[in-house]
């Protein structure tokens, strides 16, 4: 066991993957000598050399396009998008090429590419640095999306994503980069695309991913003091979604609150609410409720606390669910 911040758990996971397989390459802006703006790739260029940890031009479309060519020639590129809002120049390459090429080639070629995306708010940054664009990509067939909330998951999930023969978008909750946790270095606890129970409960199921899991756990602690037991689920995989643990939990509690930092309209939370309503209608004692960022562009840093869901907004939804 080792105690690591999430950022350094990802670093350790990348190092382990690169040591295991010399086809694994890192690509991105300022990831080499600087070690990335969040220092996630710090020290890896010194260990593996500039041919495997490559500083790229400021051209996200070029990064992904180059990675596609490398993957088709047997490499396993890991691309870093410096900030969430910078991913849109690469949107065309990701959604029209990367997501579709395996199908277009009828399985004759694989695209084992990982795209690392630091995402979400709570860091007081400027425009294009605090967004949650995951729904754009979850909507696109051919892409897999995951997001760890703990250091242990960060360490293992980045390795599992790199080992996948499908393109995986790895959304990293940057506000939790320096949150420490125990990391088991021997064996992964869960499969990559697995929803897990982060805290057992009885009265209401609350579900989220990434940094939102920490908010839900905080809400569960506050609710417990009032005699309300929340079961906290960590989604972990945004596409595909592992629904069995969700449906099992809802059948126990009869209520579900889905929380996310992203805007609520046409979102991952919307999809989960619809699917649970379809598949577990007779288990529900209340409508599935959603807590999300507001349907406006991400505001200036001084207003982010008003925009992002917190424990109070989660508990307000819990109270509404229990009122039915």
- Give catalytic residues, as residue numbers: 129
Rounded to whole angstroms, the Cα distance separating 308 from 305 reads: 6
Q: Rounded to the nearest 10 degrees, how much is the dihedral formed by the CA atoms of 68, 69, 71, 76?
A: -80
Contact 306/315 with Cβ under 8 angstroms?
Answer: no
Q: What pairing do the DSSP bridges indicate for beta strands 53-55 and 168-173? A: unpaired
Distance, in Å, from the CA atom of 132 to the CA atom of 246, rounded to the nearest integer, reads 22
HSE-CB for 203 with a 13 A CA cutoff? 17
Record the tokens describing residue 293, joined without a space.
Answer: 């960022």
Cα 263 from chain centroid?
Answer: 15
- What is the number of other CB atoms lying within 10 angstroms of the CB of residue 254? 18
Answer for the pair 211, 175: CB distance below 8 angstroms, yes or no: yes
For residue 205, what are the β-bridge partners?
231, 256
Are 117 and 74 a contacting pair, CB within 8 Å?
A: no
Residue with tokens 């920490």: 214
> Contact, 115 vs 88, CB < 8 A?
no
């Amino acid at each position: 066991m080792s105690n690591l911040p999430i950022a350094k758990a990802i670093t350790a996971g990348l190092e382990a993957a690169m040591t295991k397989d010399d086809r694994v390459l890192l690509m991105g802006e300022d990831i080499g000598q600087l070690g990335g703006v969040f220092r996630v790739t710090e020290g890896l260029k010194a260990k593996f050399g500039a041919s495997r940890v490559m500083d790229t031009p400021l051209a996200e479309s070029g990064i992904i396009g180059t990675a596609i060519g490398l993957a088709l020639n047997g490499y396993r590129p890991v691309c870093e998008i410096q900030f969430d809002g910078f991913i849109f120049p690469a949107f065309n390459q990701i959604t029209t090429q990367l997501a579709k090429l395996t199908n277009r080639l009828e399985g004759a070629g694989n695209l084992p590419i990982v795209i690392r995306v630091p995402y979400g708010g709570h860091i007081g940054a400027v425009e294009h640095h605090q967004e949650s664009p995951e729904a754009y990509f979850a909507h696109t067939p051919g892409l897999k999306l995951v997001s760890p909330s703990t250091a242990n998951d960060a360490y293992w999930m980045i390795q599992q994503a790199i080992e996948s023969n499908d393109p995986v978008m790895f959304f990293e909750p940057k506000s939790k980069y320096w949150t420490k946790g125990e990391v088991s270095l021997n064996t992964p606890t869960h499969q990559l695309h697995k929803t897990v129970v982060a805290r057992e409960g009885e009265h209401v199921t609350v579900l989220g991913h990434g940094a939102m899991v920490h908010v839900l756990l905080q809400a569960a602690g506050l609710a417990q003091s009032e005699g309300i037991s929340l079961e906290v689920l960590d989604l972990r995989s945004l596409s595909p979604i592992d629904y069995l643990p969700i449906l099992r939990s809802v059948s126990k509690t009869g209520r579900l609150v889905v929380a996310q930092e992203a805007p609520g309209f046409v979102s991952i939370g919307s999809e989960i609410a619809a699917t649970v309503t379809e598949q577990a209608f007779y288990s529900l004692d209340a409508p599935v409720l959603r807590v999300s960022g507001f349907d406006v562009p991400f505001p200036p840093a001084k207003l982010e606390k008003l925009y992002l869901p917190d424990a109070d907004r989660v508990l307000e939804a819990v109270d509404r669910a229990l009122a039915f």
